[in-house]
């Protein structure tokens, strides 16, 4: 029996140079259009990526120390994470929202009465020698109104970030379940040398972000505990709430310490001291504002920034420049993460520069 010859292989014709350039331009246009399309939900996407990075690192650590596979380890980490979030949702978040609502209501009530915010005693005499009572009252109402608006926005922000965190958590879980598996298969399809370089890049980038998040959380916790001790000693009203706000706001780059100190100072101006009731509220507010500003700003500039610099392996001066430049985009979240973003770009730039010079980008890594 005669075998029929196999059909010749189908050859796909190559595109001419003009068509290839047109295809590149089309891909760039599609990428830009995609970025513009997802821009409204970029915060949720960024939160999902960050959570995926953190939980992925924890899951890999858990998998190395147990007999769990990659998927079970991820599920265990997410179950523990969700349990912690539910505990916070049942206890911490409702308490914080109720406390903020009570504080805003008290500030609004005191704003309506000039005597509640007007300074008394020797400070009032010296102040009224320069400014009229109407000017002092107007200034006090302006400051209190500013703090009320800030606290109201903080109330709205708490709900918004809970929403972002919930969606980001779900998105990160889908990344692990879906993109994680596809990513591994894609890694297997790469040439061995390229797969090795991608794994080494990931090895350098993931711990960087994990160290940054851990250092920020530890700093906020230390600032909160230290502020609570300070406020209890001085007799600051609502000491636990004021300490929580200080821990939450102080890590905001550059201005966080000043904003938290302003909120605490206005509360002291309105309610006075619970430990020194005979002290003028204006004098007490000034003492607390100056002391808290010095403590929070010094802690951020001389403690947190050097720690973050070491965590992401950047000079402190570069950290400060990145933080200051981030405010040009008017995005507090980007100001928070600009330090690890700059550090990540440095690692990628070093890798690309080594490839351009045809050098081994990871000379110390095993082959």
What does the pLDDT read at residue 117? 44
Q: Is residue 336 part of a domain?
A: yes
Whether residue 192 lies inside any domain: the answer is no
| CB-based contact 56:176 (threshold 8 Å) | yes
CA distance 284 to 277: 10
Span 159-209, pLDDT tens digits: 777 778 888 888 888 887 776 545 445 555 556 666 677 777 777 777 888
Residue 64 lies in a domain: no
The pLDDT assigned to 114 comes to 42
Give the integer Cα–Cα distance in Å for 47 and 294.
Answer: 32
The helix/strand/coil state of 5 is coil
Q: Are 296 and 260 in contact (CB under 8 A)?
A: yes
Closest CA to 257 of 300, 214, 288: 300
* Contacts by 359-367, CB closer than 8 A, 24 or more apart: 361/197, 361/200, 362/197, 362/200, 365/196, 365/200, 367/196
Q: How far apart are CA 132 and CA 118, in angstroms?
A: 12
The tens digit of pLDDT for each residue in 269-328 reads 777 888 888 888 778 888 888 888 888 888 888 888 888 888 888 887 877 777 777 666
Residue 19 lies in a domain: no
Q: Which domain holds residue 268?
A: 203-359
Inform me whether the pLDDT recorded for 222 exceeds 80. Answer: yes
Kindly report, residue by residue over 79-130, the tens digit of the pLDDT. Answer: 888 888 777 777 766 766 676 666 666 666 665 554 444 444 555 555 555 5
Q: How many residues does the chain have?
A: 367
* DSSP per position, 158-175: HHHHHHHHHHHHHHHHHI
Handedness of CA 244, 247, 252, 258 (dihedral sign): positive
CA neighbor of 219 nearest in space, from 297, 301, 303? 303
Our measurement of the distance from residue 203's CA atom to the centroid of its chain's CA atoms, rounded to an integer in Å, reads: 22
Q: Are 140 and 118 in contact (CB under 8 A)?
A: yes
Which among 326, 332, 269, 256 is positioned nearest to 295, based on CA atoms?
Answer: 256
Tens-place pLDDT, residues 224-263:
888 889 899 989 888 888 888 888 888 877 777 888 888 8
* Nearest residue to 165 via CA among 75, 220, 72, 93: 93
| Mean pLDDT computed over 44-60 | 79
Q: Is the pLDDT of residue 351 over 80?
A: yes
Nearest to 55 by CA among 41, 73, 69: 73
Does residue 190 form part of some domain? no
Per-residue pLDDT at 215 exceeds 80: yes
3-state SS class at 251: coil
DSSP per residue over 291-343, as a string? HHHHHHHHHIIIIIHHHHHHHHT--HHHHHHHHHHHGGGT-HHHHHHHHHHHH
How far is Cα 265 from Cα 182, in angstroms, rounded to an integer? 53
Please indicate, yes or no, if residue 279 is contained in any of the structural domains: yes
Picking from 51-55, 235-239, 329-333, which range would have the lowest pLDDT averaged per residue? 329-333
Number of domain units in the chain: 1
Is 237 contained in some domain? yes
pLDDT at 116: 44
- Rounded to whole angstroms, how far apart are CA atoms 113 and 297? 33
For residue 275, being part of any structural domain is answered with yes
Mean pLDDT score of the chain: 75
């Amino acid at each position: 029996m005669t075998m029929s010859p196999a059909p010749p292989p189908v050859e796909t014709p190559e595109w001419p140079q003009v068509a290839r350039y047109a295809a590149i331009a089309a891909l760039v246009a599609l990428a830009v259009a995609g970025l513009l399309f997802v821009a409204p939900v970029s915060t949720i996407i960024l939160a999902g990526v960050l959570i995926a990075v953190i939980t992925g690192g924890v899951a890999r650590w858990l998998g190395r120390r147990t007999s769990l596979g990659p998927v079970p380890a991820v599920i265990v980490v997410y179950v523990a994470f969700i349990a912690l979030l539910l505990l916070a949702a049942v206890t911490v978040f409702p308490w914080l929202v109720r406390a903020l609502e009570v504080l805003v209501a008290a500030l609004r009530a005191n704003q309506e009465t000039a005597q509640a915010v007007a300074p008394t005693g020797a400070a009032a005499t010296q102040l009224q020698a320069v400014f009229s009572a109407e000017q002092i009252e107007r200034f006090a109402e302006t400051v209190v109104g500013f703090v009320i608006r800030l606290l109201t926005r903080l109330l709205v922000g708490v709900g918004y970030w809970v929403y972002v965190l919930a969606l980001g958590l779900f998105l990160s879980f889908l990344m692990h379940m879906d993109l994680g598996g596809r990513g591994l298969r894609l890694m297997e399809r790469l040439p061995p040398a390229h797969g090795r370089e991608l794994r080494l890049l990931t090895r350098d980038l993931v711990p960087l972000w994990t160290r940054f998040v851990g250092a920020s959380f530890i700093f906020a916790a230390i600032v909160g505990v230290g502020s609570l001790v300070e406020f209890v000693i001085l007799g600051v009203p609502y000491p636990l709430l004021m300490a929580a706000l200080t821990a939450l706001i102080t890590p905001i780059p550059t201005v966080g310490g000043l904003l938290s100190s302003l909120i605490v100072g206005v509360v002291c101006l309105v309610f006075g001291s619970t430990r020194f009731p005979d002290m003028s509220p204006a004098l007490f507010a000034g003492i607390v504002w100056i002391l808290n500003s010095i403590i929070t700003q010094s802690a951020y500039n001389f403690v947190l920034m050097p720690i973050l610099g070491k965590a992401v392996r950047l000079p402190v001066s570069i950290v400060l420049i990145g933080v200051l430049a981030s405010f040009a985009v008017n995005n507090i979240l980007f100001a928070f993460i600009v330090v690890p973003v700059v550090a990540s770009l440095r690692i990628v730039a070093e890798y690309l520069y080594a490839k351009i010079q045809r050098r081994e980008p990871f000379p110390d890594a095993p082959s």
